[in-house]
Amino acid sequence: MITLAYDRYDFRRKTQYPNGWHIELYKYADTIDSMDFFSKVRNKFILASNHSELRGNALNRLDGKYVILNGIDVNNYNEEVLFYPIEIYGSHNFFIDETQYKTQDGIEYKTNFVNVVSKEAIDLAKQNKLFFVFNISHESFSDINFLTKFYFEIRSIGLHPYHFIFFVGTSNLIELYPEIEQYGFIFYFEDNLLISSCKKVEDLKICPNNKLGYKTEWLKSNDILKNRNKHFVCPNRNSNKQHRFNLGCFFEAENLWDKLYCSFLQKYDEKVDLIENLNINFKKRLNEAMSSFIKKLPIEMDTENLKEEEKQSFESMRSFKKEIYTDSYIHIVTETNFKRDIFPTEKIINPMVVLQPFILFGAPGYLKYIKSLGFKTFDGFIDESYDSEYDDVKRFEMLCEEIKRLSELSLEEIHNWYISIMIPILEHNRNFALKFAKKSMFLENLKKHI
């Protein structure tokens, strides 16, 4: 049994307050009657934490236990090991920030760890009866600066790094930065974004919907046997990541719009530019196409029925226009990260839901990683050698070259390959995603410390 520890109980809403709040935040939240107190606290204070996946898995799904620390006798505590969850909201760097913030009505507070964690939690950790658990699993995390500063901060109050468990979103963190092992923090990676995305696949199978104004339902194998009119589909919420912006310029330079369904829902951010050190001729062509691509933004393919604010929050895992995916063959996935950090998100599960092969703009080794989990990829028809290229510029160029090669194949050739070879792999990936949805998150690794 996992037992979570919280500093303070929310008597108005009859639940635990999040850990990692300054006492002034708790005092203010105590004055708010409404259930949406979190947004009101957030508007007044900088928040570094909230409730998230860890609490939900330990307490809600498995009927776990919790204790409130200001209600126990710390000096005579001899019960089960406690886990003190800090579920990151916003930037983890707030926990090393020494700034003295002040609200408009003069309330002063700090967000750094020393000022937000309770004395009871610190005393129990020093007795090896409590572990602090940072959940950063929903973000890529390879911040050496944070870990270094945090190390010295916690040592200054007599805590040891082995009192701290980090669940992170970067699967190759130790490979990227082996030097962090010297600090002594405990790191786990659990694929929890993949698992939670696969749970949404499971939900979709049970509950079709029309949240976008289109029927979103489970695709059957015979839904994908017909000939299609487009080579690709490439959904993007925004163009403000460099690899996505450059890909959009490539689509424009090659005039691929008639061969794909595509979305870039947010307008261009002038801080984003072309990738440096691209092949001179290639960069020249992208540069020439840039202004005309920018004029096309935003580009929509299935969100026309949504309000503007809804377009930034809908989940493509739960809602999509079925007809787009049964009229296109190859899914171009643009992951959150293109450089270094392997951070698998729902974006790689999207093509599996709609039974499409994919080409991936992500960190090197990403395909190798998801294959190690049991998913399958498409080497043999799609040239996946880009996955082994650690030079980001070369990898981007290789990906664009492969898209161009595939775009020059006839739709008939792609269709014949698709129905003769691909369907068993596509069905395997979707079925494996359903199995993946049943994996537990966090709990097995926490049990190692009981």
Whether the pLDDT of residue 313 is over 80: the answer is no
72 contact partners, CB below 8 Å, separation of at least 6: 120
Rounded distance between C-alpha atoms, residue 273 and residue 249, angstroms: 10
Residue with tokens 């949404």: 200
Strands 15-16, 101-102: parallel, antiparallel or unpaired by DSSP?
unpaired
- Cα-Cα-Cα-Cα torsion 210, 212, 218, 222, nearest 10 degrees, comes to 110
Q: Which residues of 287-311 are buried (b: 16+ CB within 10 A; e: fewer)?
A: eebbeebbeeebbebbbeebeeeeb
Lowest-pLDDT choice from 195-199, 363-367, 393-397? 195-199
- Position 61 scores a pLDDT of 66
Strands 101-102, 108-109: parallel, antiparallel or unpaired by DSSP?
antiparallel
298-307 pLDDT, tens digit per residue, is: 999 999 888 8
- Position 353 scores a pLDDT of 93
- Cα-Cα-Cα-Cα torsion 312, 317, 323, 325, nearest 10 degrees, comes to 110
The model's confidence at residue 135, banded by pLDDT at 50, 70 and 90, is very high
The model's confidence at residue 192, banded by pLDDT at 50, 70 and 90, is confident
- Position 379 scores a pLDDT of 93
Whether the pLDDT of residue 124 is over 80: the answer is yes
Contacts 24+ apart (CB under 8 A), 419-424: 419/225, 421/380, 421/381, 422/357, 422/378, 422/381, 423/221, 423/224, 423/355
33-53 pLDDT, tens digit per residue, is: 888 889 999 999 999 999 978
111 contact partners, CB below 8 Å, separation of at least 6: 22, 46, 48, 94, 95, 97, 99, 101
Averaged pLDDT for residues 129-157? 94
The alpha carbon of 419 is separated from its chain's Cα centroid by a whole number of angstroms, namely 32
- Domain ranges across the chain: 3-189, 195-436
Rounded distance between C-alpha atoms, residue 263 and residue 261, angstroms: 7
* 356: amino acid identity, one letter: Q
Please answer whether residues 379 and 358 qualify as being in contact, where contact means their C-beta atoms are separated by less than 8 angstroms. Answer: no
How far is it between the farthest Cα atoms of the chain?
75
Please answer whether residues 411 and 227 qualify as being in contact, where contact means their C-beta atoms are separated by less than 8 angstroms. Answer: yes
- Position 210 scores a pLDDT of 87
- Position 200 scores a pLDDT of 87
- Position 92 scores a pLDDT of 95
Main-chain phi, psi angles of 298, to 5 degrees: -75, 155
Residue 44 belongs to what H/E stretch? helix 37-44
Averaged pLDDT for residues 1-25? 94
Residue percentage of the chain with pLDDT more than 70: 99
Averaged pLDDT for residues 22-42? 92
Rounded distance between C-alpha atoms, residue 250 and residue 242, angstroms: 12
Q: Which two tokens stand for residue 310?
A: 């809804």
Q: Which two tokens stand for residue 298?
A: 């935003």
First-to-final CA distance of the chain = 9
Please answer whether residues 2 and 83 qualify as being in contact, where contact means their C-beta atoms are separated by less than 8 angstroms. Answer: yes
257-293 pLDDT, tens digit per residue, is: 999 999 999 877 888 999 999 999 999 999 999 999 9
- Position 268 scores a pLDDT of 78
Rounded distance between C-alpha atoms, residue 118 and residue 8, angstroms: 9
- Position 266 scores a pLDDT of 84
Q: Which two tokens stand for residue 383?
A: 């040239």
Residue with tokens 């129990």: 124
Averaged pLDDT for residues 308-329? 86
Whether the pLDDT of residue 63 is over 80: the answer is no
207-243 pLDDT, tens digit per residue, is: 888 888 888 889 988 888 999 999 999 999 889 999 9
376-435 pLDDT, tens digit per residue, is: 999 999 999 999 999 999 999 999 999 999 999 999 999 999 988 899 999 999 999 999
Rounded distance between C-alpha atoms, residue 108 and residue 101, angstroms: 6
Please answer whether residues 230 and 327 qualify as being in contact, where contact means their C-beta atoms are separated by less than 8 angstroms. Answer: yes
Mean pLDDT (the chain) is 93
pTM of the model: 0.90
Helix axes 192-206, 423-436, angle to 10 degrees: 100
- Position 56 scores a pLDDT of 84
